[in-house]
Structure 1
Amino acid sequence: MAWNEPGPGRDPWNQGPKRGEGPPDLDEMLKRIKSRLGGGRGGSGGGGGKSAPPLPSGLIGLVIAALALLWAASGFYVVDEQEQAVVLRFGKHVATTDAGLHWRMPWPIEKEEIVNVTGVRATRDRATMLTQDENIVDLELTVQYRVSDVNAYVFHVADPDMTIRQATKSSVREVVGQSRMDFILTEGREEIANRTKVLLQERMDEYGTGLVVTEVNLQQAQPPEPVQAAFADAIKAREDQERLKNEAEAYANDRLPKARGAAARQIEEATAYRDQVIAKAQGDASRFTQLLAEYRKAPKVTRERLYLDAMSEVYGGNSKVLIDVDGGAPMLYLPLDQLIRRQDATAGTEPVVSPSAPARSSGSGGGSSGGMDGLRSRERGR
């Protein structure tokens, strides 16, 4: 009978219920599919039913090829710029790949583990610890780290992140146990962080975790809460001590240079005065020696010259004017303005014009030795 003849059960592609007859029977559909996959074996229901025709072999091959392609495509994976991937074949390391698109043999033969190697990770620890001087201090610190060796990170330690957290607790307790409380609370915060970083990195290298510690920050260091007020007073007193010490040092730094400068100036002035006195004494001695030599050559002339120089020095600063009136009555010109200025210069003494006995007549000859001797004798008598 042809497939296109009317009647139910004639068309294998049109064996469902007609329109308006209700939804298809799912159990019946499953039985048909099972019978077709069974390669012509009869179904379990109704003892005398016909066996369904088997699926075409070409269709089965296409299904298998599609499944194989999907299985092979599942081996592609993408690694970002900040990541690296470790490829495992039945649990054994076979390759380490960098950023990009890669392919591995699909599961369950191979699989990949992608690890971020550039991102900075952090762990925090806060605990109460015992110091070297048997005091208790509360510390809180943060550790930043990243992956330096992806192979060591994946294979050497089961949980590297947990390992670094436990090693951080151990390292900071060891450093605090070797330090005094005052040092931890004041100037030793940075040193505590640096020593903890060095010790923690040594342990990470010893364990082979493939991690590198980038930074250790001591967030908080304080005494227990019941004694914080007393420690605050002690810290304030220490700060006052430092402030007063700095003020004293600033005052000393201001005064000492001035005192040193004044001392150096006085030393220079004394040295200059000494050199001046020595030079003057040496000059006077040299002048006297030269004058003595001239006096021995011409005693009379030298004696007269010394006398005139002495009189000029004495009368040059005097406010009195001596006039010789024996030679007549010449007209005199008195420079009053100059006398007044000289009077002011000599502490206000009034100039006195007094006639004096003539030391030497204005009309007499200048070379008479008798007149010169008389002048000297009158001057000495006055």
Structure 2
Amino acid sequence: MAWNEPGGNSNNQDPWGGKRRGGDRKGPPDLDEAFRKLQESLNSMFGGGKKRGGDGNGSSRGGGFGLLGIGLVVLAAIWLYSAIYVVDEQEQAVVLRFGKYYETVGSGLNIYFPPFDKKYLENVTRERTYTKQGQMLTEDENIVEVPLTVQYRISNLQDYVLNVDQPEVSLQHATDSALRHVVGSTTMDQVLTEGRELMASEIKKRLQGFMDTYKTGITITQVNVQSAAAPREVQEAFDDVIRAREDEQRSRNQAETYANGVVPEARGQAQRIIEDANGYRDEVVSRAKGEADRFTKLVTEYRKAPEVTRQRLYLETMQDVYSNTSKVLVSSEKGGNNLIYLPLDKMVNSSHGNAPVASGSVTPQVTDAAGARAAADLQQQQRELRSRETR
């Protein structure tokens, strides 16, 4: 039988274990009574119980003071929780008191007093990165697209917090200014090829000067200029220009390689020709001097014995002439006819440049009958010359 059916509960109790008031009253338990019990328990905890012999006003006043104390304790706990803060090893904190700089706090457990104090906590060792990319005009009036990456860190937190409003925005504006200034002073070829390192160094120097002038407390650690490119609309034409430039450089290198091989060889040949010419000159001069000295001495001998000297010169000349022939003349001692024959072995040797040399009674050189007679006359003159020298 249910609790609320007639006659089902002789004790007239509600489902929460309490007696119902006023007969068949239905509904939840009395909330006022529950709050009253909670207030009495809190009053007993904070010393705000009922006064003996008094009325109910003391109880209400004690309950009000108890709630106020609880509120104050809760507010104090919240304030203390927000006032205590921890600074890591990589961080620093700047504290402002009444809007004015008070101190810079290092790592550890610290406390400040809001709302009179205000703190700014930042990581001062972490490398931060900012990327910039845009189209700009070069010195030779060409448009290029240059991507740029700037790495920086906070070196002075006080300047970073107090001197400039939104220092990172100022960094972006200064980066744009420095980049455009450097690119505007550089030709397109240097921007696209080997001039990026020099550009990065100049941009870093100029950008750090801006940051120091503004006193932002930011230190630029690295500036990287990535591969620049032409705008997409003219990229194909720029690629053709770059390929043509590479072909030009390759042809120039090949020409220089060829020149480096040919020029030294030509110089060596020229030097060899010069040395040969000098040697020939010295030889001719020396031979001429020798011939001149010989002629001088010959004149002296000629003056002493003109006929003998003339005959000797004639014989020596004829001997030089006939010594280059490959034919052999055999003369008879008894004054008979001279015999001319052509030895095959001597002819073969003469074809290789080896001419026979006359010795004894054999005199080289004769080609015909006139030559034979000339040889006979030569031998007769030799005999006469020998007889004269003997006398």
Q: CA deviation at 1:203?
A: 0.8
What do the CA deviations read for 1:157-188 (whole angstroms, capped 9, x no partner)?
Answer: 34333321222123323444555656645565
Paired residue type of 1:157: V
For 2:293 and 2:101, locate their aligned partners in 1 and report how far apart those are by CA, in whole Å.
Answer: 111
Of 267, 277, 296, 1:270 maps to 277
Say whether 1:107 aligns with 2:112.
yes
1:208 Cα shift?
Answer: 1.3
Instruction: Sort the Cα spacing of 1:366 and 1:167 in 2 relative to 1 into closer, same or farther, 3 A.
Output: closer
Query: Which amino acid is the alignment partner of residue 388 of structure 2?
Result: S
Aligned to 1:146: 153
- 1:102-160 per-position Cα deviation (integer Å, ceiling 9, x unaligned): 465x2328887665444432111123445567665433221122334444334433433
Counterparts of 1:345 and 1:148 in 2: how far apart (Å)? 97
Deviation at 1:89, TM superposition (A): 6.7
Letter of the 1:215 partner, please give it. Answer: Q
Q: Which runs of 5+ in 1 are unaligned?
A: 1-24, 53-62, 330-335, 373-382
Counterpart of 2:388 in structure 1 is 369
Structure-2 change in CA distance of 1:164 and 1:49 (3 Å): closer
Q: Tell me, which stretches of 5 or more residues in structure 2 are unaligned? A: 1-33, 63-72, 337-342, 357-363
What TM-score do the two structures reach when normalised by structure 2? 0.59
Q: Which residue of 2 aligns with 1:20?
A: none
User: 1:4 aligns to what?
Assistant: none
Kindly indicate whether the alpha-carbon contact (under 8 Å) linking 1:319 and 1:351 is maintained by their aligned counterparts in 2. Answer: yes
SS of the residue 1:35 aligns to = helix
Report how far residue 201 of structure 1 moved.
1.8
Pairing 1:165-176 to 2, within 5 Å after superposition: 165-176=172-183
Q: How many residues end up aligned between the 2 structures?
A: 317
Verify the 8 A CA contact 1:86 1:114 in the aligned structure 2.
yes
Q: Which one of the candidate residues 117, 128, 133 is aligned to 1:126?
A: 133
Correspondence 1:317 to 2:336: no
> By how many angstroms is 1:282 displaced?
1.7
Contact preservation (8 Å) 1:143, 1:216: yes
Cα-Cα RMSD: 5.1
Alignment of 1:24-173 (within 5 A): 28=37, 31-38=40-47, 47=56, 77-79=87-89, 83=90, 85-86=92-93, 88=95, 90=97, 92-94=101-103, 97=106, 102=108, 104=110, 106-108=111-113, 115-130=122-137, 136-173=143-180
Contact 1:139 1:220 in 2 (8 A): yes
SS in 2 for 1:319: coil
What's the counterpart of residue 3 of structure 1? none
Change in 2 beyond 3 A, CA 1:342/1:351:
farther
Residue 289 of structure 1 pairs with residue 296 of structure 2:
yes
Shift in CA distance, 304/152, structure 1 to aligned 2, threshold 3 Å: farther
Aligned equivalent of 2:211: 204
Deviation at 1:207, TM superposition (A): 0.8
1:112–1:236: structure 2 CA closer, same or farther, 3 Å change rule?
A: same
Percent of aligned pairs sharing the same letter: 40
